[in-house]
Chains A and B, each alone.
Chain A
Amino acid sequence: MNVKDNRAWLLVLPVLVIVAFNAVIPMMTMVNYSVQDIFGPGNAYFVGREWFEELLGDFELRNALLRQVMFSSLVLLIEVPLGIVIALALPKRGRSVALCLIILGLPLLMPWNVVGVMWQIFARSDIGLGGAAISALGIDFNYSRDVVDAWFTIIVMDVWHWTSLIVLLAYSGLRAIDPAYYRAAQIDGASRWQVFRYVELPKLSGVLTIGIMLRLMDSLMIYSELFVITGGGPGSSTSFLSQTLVKKAIGQFDLGPAASFSIIYFMIIVTLCFVFFRSITRTQEGE
C-alpha cells in the first residue's frame, strides 16, 4: 500500500501547471464562446443554451457521430485481434527481432498527413500500386467517387497505420510472461487455445488496456489522414467528428457553434473512453 502523503502534490505541480496552461484555459475559452453569438471583437451577445440545443438536433453532427462510431468500432475490431496474432507469430529471440521491430515501427513514425499522402497515391487505380492491383482483379476501384471504396481505403489505411502499436504492446506483454506458466500449462495438458485463453490473454490484459484505449482515443480524433486522402468525401460519407468541427471552426468561422460543438465532441470522447476503461478494468478485476 502506498504511503499517504499530501506533499506528493508538489511533485505533480509541474504537470498541473503545463497541462492547465494547455488544456484548462483553452477549454474555459471554449465554454465562454459556446454561450455567445460572436460577430467580431466587442460585438458578442449572450445566447445561453441556444447553440447546444441547435447542435443536438443537428443532422450533420448526428450523422458524423454515427459514422465515427462505426469507423472506430471497425478499426478496433480488426486491429486488436490482428495485432495479437502478429505478436504471437513474431520470433522470440535472435537477430530478426530487431529488424521486425524496426519495420513495425515505420508506420507509427510517419507523420499522419504523410500517411494520408502515401495512401492517396497508393490506392489510386491509375498511378498507385494498391489501387492498380485491385483494378487488375476486375473491380472498378475509385475511392474518390465510390463510398464503399472510400471506406475500404481508409479502414485498410488505419489498419496499416496502427496495428503495429497493438503488436508492439502485445509483444512486450508476451515477453514478460514467466516461462513457468507455460510449463504449468503443459503439465496440465492444455491445448494451444487454452494456453492463449488462460495464460497469455490474462497476462496481456494490462498492456492491451493501454493499447485499446490509445486506439480508441486516436480513432475518435482521426483528422489529418482523411484531410488528405478523401477530404471527408465522397459527399460527406467519410466526414467524422473532427472534420465536421474543423469545417465549422475554420471554414465558416462560426465561433459560438464551433465552440459548443467542441464541448459536445470532447464530452462524447471522455464518456466513451470512461465507459470503456471502467468495463475493461471491471472484467479484469472479475477474473
Chain B
Amino acid sequence: MMTETMPTTPSLAGTQTSAAARVRPGRKPLLKKLVLSLFFLFLLAPIYWLVVMSFKTDNEIISELTLWPQTFTLENYRIIFTTHSWWSSYINSALYVTLNTIISLAVALPAAYAFSRFRFLGDRHLFFWLLTNRMTPPAVFVLPYFQFYSAFGLIDTHIAVAIAHCVFNVPLAVWILEGFLKGVPKSVDETAYIDGYSFPRFFLTVLIPLIRSGIGVTAFFCFMFSWVELILARTLTTADAKPIVAVMTRVYSGAGIEWGLIAAAGVLTLVPGILVIWFVRNHIARGFAMGRV
C-alpha cells in the first residue's frame, strides 16, 4: 500500500515512468498483443462452435460444415425451455451449488481463522489431512456414497449433493480463506477485544467485512467446482434432483445424437457462470489483486 503514495517531487515521477518504459521496451507490446490474441482465439474458437451449432438444425450440423447457421433455428432452445426434465435440471444444479457454497463458507471461515491465528495440537497434520480430501478422486467415493446416502434416505435430494461436494470445496475454502486471513494484521483482533467486542461480534462485524474480497473469491471457486462436477452429482440423484450435467449424458442413448440440442444445453450451462463472474467481478479483481488466492 505504501508504494502507492504519490511521488513527492516531479523529478522522481519522471524517473519512475522512464524506469517502467525501460523494463518494457517499445516493441514488446506488439508481441504481447499477438500472444494474447492467439490465446484468446484458442479459448473462444470451441465456444464459438458450440454456440453456432446450437442455432443449427441437426440436419445442417451433420451434412455440411458451415461457419454460420444457414437455417437459423431456435428449436433446440425451445425444446429445453419447454421440457420439464431439461429446465428443472438447471434449477436443481443451481440449488445444490448455492447450498454447497453457503455450507462451505460457513464451516470454512472459523476453521481458516483458527489456522491463521492459533497453534494447536496437530494443526499442521490436520491442514494437510484436509487437503488430502481435495485430492480424493470422486470416482473412489462412488460406491460408498451411494450406500451411505441411501442409508440416510438422502438419495435424490439437493442437500445430498450439496453436502457431498463439501468433500472437495471445504478444504479448498479453508486453504484460500486462510491465505486472506493471514493478510489481516493481528492488531485488528487485539484492538477489537480491547474495545470489548465478543468473539462472534468481532467475527461478524469486523473480520468478515475486512476479507470481503477473499470471501468473494472463495465463493467463486466453490461455485465453480460444484457446478462443474459430474460423478458425485450423477451418483446421488435419480430423478427429482437430477442436475443438468447428468441429464446431458442422456442424449447419447436412443437413435443417434441430437447435436443441436446438446450444444444448446451446453451453451446454457455457461450462463450461470457468466452471471457469477459478472456479480463478483469487482471482488474477484480486488481479491486477485491482493494476490492471496
Contacts and interface: CB of A to CB of B under 8 A. Distances in A.
A120 to B, nearest CB: 9
Contacts of B48: 129
A89 B145 contact: no
A15 B139 contact: no
Nearest to B46: A122
A220 B140 CA distance: 12
Interface string A74-101: 0000000010011011100000011011
14 contacts: A4-B120, A25-B144, A29-B148, A86-B39, A89-B32, A121-B259, A127-B259, A129-B45, A172-B291, A183-B19, A192-B25, A210-B293, A245-B139, A273-B135
Contact of A118 (B103, B171, B266): B266
A14 interface: yes
A19 B114 contact: no
B144 A26 contact: yes
B276 A109 contact: yes
Contacts of A103: 40, 43-44
Interface stretch (A52-60, A139-147, A261-269): A261-269
Interface string B123-147: 1001010111111111111111101
B45 A122 contact: yes
B284 A22 contact: no
Interface string A213-236: 000010011011001100000000
A259 B136 contact: no
Chain A CB within 10 Å, residue with most, of B20, B128, B135 = B135
Interface in A177-215: 177-180, 182-183, 185-187, 192, 195, 206-207, 210
B133 to A, nearest CB: 5
B170 interface: yes
B111 interface: yes
A249 interface: yes
B100 to A, nearest CB: 11
Nearest to B175: A210
Question: Which secondary structure dominates where chain A touches chain B?
Answer: helix
Interface of A: 1-9, 11-12, 14-15, 18-19, 21-23, 25-27, 29-30, 33, 82, 85-86, 88-90, 97-98, 100-114, 117-119, 121-122, 126-130, 132, 160, 163-164, 168-169, 171-173, 175-180, 182-183, 185-187, 192, 195, 206-207, 210, 217, 220-221, 223-224, 227-228, 241-242, 245-246, 249-250, 255, 258-259, 262, 265-266, 269-270, 273-274
Contacts of A21: 163
Interface in B159-183: 163-164, 166-167, 170-171, 174-175
A171 B249 contact: no
A179 B132 CA distance: 37
Nearest to A261: B140
Contact of B49 (A129, A206, A249): A129
Contact of A11 (B39, B50, B111, B163): B111
A228 to B, nearest CB: 7
Given A5-B118, A117-B262, A15 B111 contact: yes
A173 B118 contact: no
Nearest to A83: B39
B1 to A, nearest CB: 10
A89 B29 CA distance: 8
B144 A130 contact: no
Contact of B23 (A7, A90, A185, A255): A185
Interface stretch (B70-78, B204-212, B227-235): B227-235
Contacts of B117: 2-3, 8
B3 A89 contact: no
A90 B39 CA distance: 11
A270 to B, nearest CB: 5
B286 to A, nearest CB: 10
A172 B44 CA distance: 22
B227 A109 contact: yes
Given A6-B121, A18-B170, A172-B288, A109 B138 contact: no
A9 B119 CA distance: 10
Given A127-B61, A220-B137, A173 B291 contact: yes
The 10 closest A-B pairs by CB, nearest first: A176-B291, A109-B273, A26-B144, A172-B288, A8-B118, A11-B114, A14-B107, A22-B167, A221-B137, A8-B114
A173 B33 CA distance: 21
